[in-house]
Structure 1
Amino acid sequence: MTVTPSDTSTEALNQDAISAEAELDFAAAMGDDLDLAIPEEVPTADDPSSRAASRNDADGVGFTLDEFASLLSKYDYNFKPGDVVNGTVFALESKGAMIDIGAKTAAFMPVQEVSINRVEGLSDVLVPGEVREFFIMSEENEDGQLSLSIRRIEYQRAWERVRQLQKEDATIYSEVFATNRGGALVRVEGLRGFIPGSHISTRKAKEELVADFLPLKFLEVDEERNRLVLSHRRALVERKMNRLEVGEVVLGTVRGIKPYGAFIDIGGVSGLLHISEISHEHIETPHTVLNVNDQMKVMIIDLDAERGRISLSTKALEPEPGDMLTDPQKVFDKAEEMAARYKQMLLEQAEDNEPMGVTLD
């Protein structure tokens, strides 16, 4: 069949009519009153009046293009190692947690970085959906992913807290979780601390201290060397010192004898009876006068809270020089009387050392 030009025009008109009718049916179905009329004046793309209208529309938004660029820059994050950022936990996995910190790719926190303390799993610390601070550990990897840590934040804050406690000369209580040949191990604010054997003051064997809570004082706090050293003895001495005074007579028990003197237990803390403070007479070795487990009276002659030391004397209690060698019981019987004389002597010395008043004419 041959199609004439007039037939082609008629077919085209019919198609236009069908399209127009379809558009009206669509508008009716959408419930919109669509205005399909073509405006008499349609501005072209290069019409200056069209660009002016666009600028006017932008002005009506409420902020300038510079302000818009500034707003976008707030979301152009530049994450660096060492930064602390807020993030949202959105997935807990076997090897770590996925964290949304606003970067192009979700950040990852390994399970070993979840806490400074030992935990059974991520769910002990993290809850999906929670927002908290994270430490950025490294640059982005080849996949654009950052590594995060909570442990680093806790570590930094723990050292800050420990330094403050040391500055305040605070007494803390901590549980012994292990012992070794050198002493005992504890945790302070999540940090591992060490108590040297010489600073453990107890009648228990070291191995029996595990799970015991001990009062402790700080000896050394060094973050750079990761050294946290504490003293049980100092804490006990300080506590005892609060109830002791120089010139006081106390009952003690000999716990150890060294060439330079004897260690006397006076109610849970040790004081040193130096060889030079045993008697006015010369003594070759403390063993010639004292025995381990001897009970005796001693007088306090010095309290050094900073070093945790109590210095003792029986020499000051001797009625006559050498009585500790010939008749120690006489020394103990007269102890309180001799201590009173000692205190009076200290008082007179203090008065003599007071500066003289100056009178101005």
Structure 2
Amino acid sequence: MVTSNFEFNKFALLLSKYDYKVKQYDILAGVVIGLETTHALVDIGLKKVAFLPLQEIYVKVPNEPKEVLDMNFVGEFLILYLNKRTNQTIVSLKQIHSLYLWERLKQIDLKNTIIYAKSEHSIGRGKILDFNGLKLYALNLHIPKYYRRKREKRFFIPFKFLEIKDFLHVVQVNAKLALFNKSSINLKLNETYKGTIISIKIFGIFINLLGLQCLLHISEISRKKLLDLTEFYKPGEQIQVQILYKDIGQGKVFLTLKEVNSIPPRQL
């Protein structure tokens, strides 16, 4: 058995004295006492040394342990796997790093902060993202088509926090809200802008303003009742509209034509 004489192993005496049973997900102080190609050997005060696999050393897997660890490296290690029958213990540094990142994340002003996370891979109806080693999740409906269609991998996308489930360590983010917050700053309430019609629906018209899809509801087009908007407008046409309301939380902009032009729109 390989052992070390570092001061942290006084903790082992305390474990024995109070008959403490080490269990999975405990965090113990330890020291690296050996470096192999695929793993490191760690003394955490138990009867046998623990194994630190290559993939559990850091959030970005190194080519070999020596790239990020030195002999006599002292730190905290999370018990990832404990086999009582063989006394084999697997520990993790990566999980400790993730826990610290999680605590730092909770200190961020989530409501007003926009972050840039790296796209990793698709899963279900969304994408897994990497934010400084912390894994985030975004539904596809919260990611613009431009980013969903990009062929290159691991590109950065701006995101705004949507929901944090502390008890599950799950973070949901929204790229559309982040882009909305950046672009909507230039859209002032009650100001008039020229926009391009994207599509026409029964309930209103979707208009592109500074890259944002804004809604011009049929009730805000004319003081007179309009039955068929396609009689007056067509996709691709540019029209003057006024900013009626901005919903920052939902990432939506509502427009009006009533104050821009009080007469019914010209029939094309």
Q: For this structure pair, what is the TM-score category when the shorter chain's length is used for normalisation?
A: 0.7 to 0.9
1:64 aligns to what? none
Q: Residue type of the partner of 1:82? A: Y
* Cα distance, 1:248 vs structure 2: 0.9
Point out the more displaced range, 199-208 or 238-247.
199-208
Could you say if the C-alpha distance between residues 184 and 71 of structure 1 is closer, same or farther in structure 2, counting changes exceeding 3 Å?
A: closer
Alignment partner for residue 324 of structure 1, among 261, 265, 268?
265
Alignment partner for residue 174 of structure 2, among 207, 227, 231?
231
Task: Note if contact 1:202-1:268 (Cα within 8 Å) is conserved in structure 2.
Answer: no
The count of aligned residue pairs is 256
2:193 aligns to what? 250
* Cα distance, 1:299 vs structure 2: 0.6
| 1:155-210 residue CA offsets vs partner (Å, 9 max, x unmatched) | 32333333333645311012333457845542123233333343334657623574
Residues 1:97 and 2:30 are matched in the alignment = no
Residues 1:217 and 2:187 are matched in the alignment = no
Point out the more displaced range, 202-211 or 303-312.
202-211
- SS at 1:116 equivalent: coil
Point out the more displaced range, 137-146 or 87-96.
137-146
Residues 1:198 and 2:141 are matched in the alignment = yes
Task: Note if contact 1:166-1:221 (Cα within 8 Å) is conserved in structure 2.
Answer: no
CA–CA distance in structure 2, aligned partners of residues 175 and 109 of structure 1: 27
Task: Note if contact 2:55-2:61 (Cα within 8 Å) is conserved in structure 1.
Answer: no
Point out the more displaced range, 295-304 or 215-224.
215-224
Could you say if the C-alpha distance between residues 96 and 141 of structure 1 is closer, same or farther in structure 2, counting changes exceeding 3 Å?
A: farther
Alignment partner for residue 170 of structure 1, among 97, 113, 118?
113
CA–CA distance in structure 2, aligned partners of residues 183 and 262 of structure 1: 28
Task: Note if contact 2:30-2:74 (Cα within 8 Å) is conserved in structure 1.
Answer: yes
- SS at 1:175 equivalent: strand
Could you say if the C-alpha distance between residues 216 and 208 of structure 1 is closer, same or farther in structure 2, counting changes exceeding 3 Å?
A: same
Task: Note if contact 2:35-2:71 (Cα within 8 Å) is conserved in structure 1.
Answer: yes
Task: Note if contact 2:158-2:179 (Cα within 8 Å) is conserved in structure 1.
Answer: yes
Task: Note if contact 1:178-1:186 (Cα within 8 Å) is conserved in structure 2.
Answer: yes
- SS at 1:315 equivalent: coil
Could you say if the C-alpha distance between residues 260 and 175 of structure 1 is closer, same or farther in structure 2, counting changes exceeding 3 Å?
A: farther
Q: Residue type of the partner of 1:116? A: V
Could you say if the C-alpha distance between residues 115 and 253 of structure 1 is closer, same or farther in structure 2, counting changes exceeding 3 Å?
A: same
Could you say if the C-alpha distance between residues 251 and 107 of structure 1 is closer, same or farther in structure 2, counting changes exceeding 3 Å?
A: same
More strand by percentage: 2
Task: Note if contact 2:143-2:176 (Cα within 8 Å) is conserved in structure 1.
Answer: yes
Could you say if the C-alpha distance between residues 211 and 74 of structure 1 is closer, same or farther in structure 2, counting changes exceeding 3 Å?
A: closer
Larger gyration radius, structure 1 or structure 2: 1
Alignment partner for residue 272 of structure 1, among 208, 215, 235?
215
1:114-193 equivalences under 5 Å are 114-139=57-82, 141-165=84-108, 167-178=110-121, 182=125, 184-193=127-136
1:4 aligns to what? none
Could you say if the C-alpha distance between residues 222 and 241 of structure 1 is closer, same or farther in structure 2, counting changes exceeding 3 Å?
A: same
1:292 aligns to what? 235
Could you say if the C-alpha distance between residues 204 and 190 of structure 1 is closer, same or farther in structure 2, counting changes exceeding 3 Å?
A: closer
Could you say if the C-alpha distance between residues 158 and 217 of structure 1 is closer, same or farther in structure 2, counting changes exceeding 3 Å?
A: same
Gaps of 5+ in 2: 1-9
Alignment partner for residue 87 of structure 1, among 5, 27, 30?
30
CA–CA distance in structure 1, aligned partners of residues 172 and 97 of structure 2: 19
Task: Note if contact 1:252-1:295 (Cα within 8 Å) is conserved in structure 2.
Answer: yes
C-alpha RMSD of the superposition = 3.2
Point out the more displaced range, 233-242 or 304-313.
233-242
| 1:247-274 residue CA offsets vs partner (Å, 9 max, x unmatched) | 0111222233344333222112222222
CA–CA distance in structure 2, aligned partners of residues 108 and 326 of structure 1: 76
Task: Note if contact 1:234-1:307 (Cα within 8 Å) is conserved in structure 2.
Answer: yes
Could you say if the C-alpha distance between residues 288 and 187 of structure 1 is closer, same or farther in structure 2, counting changes exceeding 3 Å?
A: farther
